[in-house]
Amino acid sequence: MSTLLRRARDVVRFGLLASLAACAGGGALRIGDITPQSIPSLEAERSQRPNDPMTLTRLGVAYFKANRYEEARTALDTAAARDPSNGIAAIYLGMTTEALGDFPAARTAYERYVTVARSRELRNTARQRLALIGRRELEFQARQSLASEATLLQTPPTPNTVAVMPFSYTGTNPQIQPLGRGLAQLVITDLAKSRQVVVLERERMQSMLDEMRLSEQNRVEQQTAVRSGRLLRAERVVQGTIAERGDQLRVDAAVVDVSSAGVAATGNASDQLSRIFDLEKALVFSIFENLGIQLSDAERASINQRPTQNIQAFLAYSRGLEAEDMGDFQAAREAYTQASGLDPSFVAAVQGAATATDLSAASTQSVSDVDVTVTQNAQQEAAGPAGAPTDALNNAANAVAGTQTSDQAAQQQTQTTPPANRNNTSEVTGGSVRPTTGTVVIVIRRPT
């Protein structure tokens, strides 16, 4: 009898090992096998298990592959809510909401995936999508603002909010022209060091300017600063120009009050290109003074810091900003990389290179391309957390064996605890039991 029970126990263990190994290796999802043709059977499974995250994930993936995005979103939303660690549900929810144009929801889903990702490649893919989603979200917001411009004209601006336009260059030197972006970014960074103002990011202003030009079919808008400020709900807008005067640069800036369309403050400075940072600092302090903003000693010290001591590095960084604003992310990456190579301590250039790399990769991928990447990496995603044992059979054996380490202990447990799938009727009658779909039923007949 003990031999029979031991053999039965081995059969049970083998079945559980095989099942757990399949789950540990991604077999539970088998993303590559899910197609639009899987939808009817998966919908039938959902009717039986409406709250099962695995079933909902599989069905959501099938809907996604069939371009049925609204239905995919519903299924994946529920799956992700019921199992926050479900990486497959999170990344497919990101792709689904991105395809629907709901960029805030896509950003949330991708951010969630980055926190639970087990596949390094998929984590990088999600991070790249996040960079692109951020830009698309700004573009979408700009289009919405233009569509509701009449309403925004009657809406008060957000207090103490400042937007900075790219500085225009009036010369002919192509090496100097990118400074319009570089100087504007420096001004944004330094103005933001005062707690008394809220400065909008450069990308937000650029997205608005891009949409305004598209809507105007390249017509020149004389009140661009005022109009863009109203659309962005900024209280003030900084605009400026860069001009060459012999061997010197002259920078003029004006702070425009959006509500009145009047000039609230002005500033100007001129110096040699080699002293461009001194010039920018003088300009910023002049703006603060004209706005009546008192800076603390700590704020002044922070503003006085230079991002780099290398002018050539700053020029390369400015070229990166210009290329990024034009949507040429590969050129932006190369320019930022050159800048960080000239000065490895130039933090903004290092960060710019990383962002441009992500944008360059993401901009060449559609959500269908991401689907292919996810399919190829789904097994690793389901394999377990980074650093966990990778031997699925060992993991499964540990889960089954627990603390029982001898045949005697196993035999004792078998004698006192009936198998979970035991069918008493079958044991008595000698009949067979037909297993339900996806379930292994093991029948142990008593010896006669």
Q: Is the pLDDT of residue 266 over 90?
A: no
How do beta strands 168-169 and 234-245 pair?
parallel
Retrieve residue 2's tokens.
């003990």
How do beta strands 234-245 and 248-257 pair?
antiparallel
More reliable by pLDDT, 396 or 66: 66
More reliable by pLDDT, 183 or 15: 183
Q: Is the pLDDT of residue 192 over 80?
A: yes
**For 350-366, how does the pLDDT look when each residue is reduced to its tens digit (9 = 90+)?**
999 999 999 999 999 88
- Give mean pLDDT, residues 379-404: 40
Do residues 339 and 199 touch, judged by C-beta distance below 8 A?
no
pTM: 0.72
**For 332-355, how does the pLDDT look when each residue is reduced to its tens digit (9 = 90+)?**
999 999 999 999 999 999 999 999
Q: With bands split at pLDDT 50, 70 and 90, how would you rate the model's confidence at 47?
A: very high
**Mean pLDDT for the chain?**
79
pLDDT of residue 251: 86
pLDDT of residue 351: 96
Which of 373, 302, 339 has the alpha carbon at shortest distance from 95? 373
Q: Which residues contact 369 (CB under 8 A, 6 or more apart)?
A: none
Q: Is the pLDDT of residue 320 over 50?
A: yes
Q: Please name the residue that has the structure tokens 């079919």.
A: 217
**For 31-45, how does the pLDDT look when each residue is reduced to its tens digit (9 = 90+)?**
888 999 999 999 999
Q: Is the pLDDT of residue 265 over 80?
A: no
**For 116-146, how does the pLDDT look when each residue is reduced to its tens digit (9 = 90+)?**
988 888 899 999 999 999 999 999 999 999 9
Residue 356, classed as helix, strand or coil, is: helix
Q: Is the pLDDT of residue 416 over 60?
A: no
Do residues 226 and 250 touch, judged by C-beta distance below 8 A?
no
- In this structure, the chain runs to a length of 448
Residue type, position 225, single letter: A
Residue 71, classed as helix, strand or coil, is: helix
| Cα distance between residue 396 and residue 398, in whole Å | 5
pLDDT of residue 191: 95
Q: Which residues contact 411 (CB under 8 A, 6 or more apart)?
A: 2, 5, 6, 9
Q: With bands split at pLDDT 50, 70 and 90, how would you rate the model's confidence at 448?
A: very low
DSSP label at 274?
Answer: G
Q: With bands split at pLDDT 50, 70 and 90, how would you rate the model's confidence at 270?
A: confident
More reliable by pLDDT, 14 or 38: 38
Beta strands in 352-424 (DSSP E): none
Residue type, position 435, single letter: P
Residue 304, classed as helix, strand or coil, is: coil
pLDDT of residue 108: 95
pLDDT of residue 254: 87
Q: With bands split at pLDDT 50, 70 and 90, how would you rate the model's confidence at 291?
A: confident
Gap between the terminal Cα atoms of the chain: 11
pLDDT of residue 27: 37
pLDDT of residue 179: 93
- Give mean pLDDT, residues 232-256: 87
- Give mean pLDDT, residues 424-432: 36
Do residues 122 and 110 touch, judged by C-beta distance below 8 A?
no
Retrieve residue 81's tokens.
């809510």
Cα dihedral across residues 351, 354, 357, 358: positive or negative = negative
| Cα distance between residue 62 and residue 58, in whole Å | 6
Report the C-alpha dihedral over residues 165, 169, 173, 179, rounded to 10 degrees.
-30
Can you spell out the DSSP letters for 147-194? HTHHHHTTSPPEEEEEEEPPPEE-S--TTTTTHHHHHHHHHHHHHTTS
Residue type, position 420, single letter: A
**Residue 195: exposure state from Cβ atoms within 10 A (0-12, 13-18, ≥19):** exposed
pLDDT of residue 154: 84
Q: With bands split at pLDDT 50, 70 and 90, how would you rate the model's confidence at 368?
A: confident
Q: Is the pLDDT of residue 74 over 80?
A: yes
pLDDT of residue 325: 93
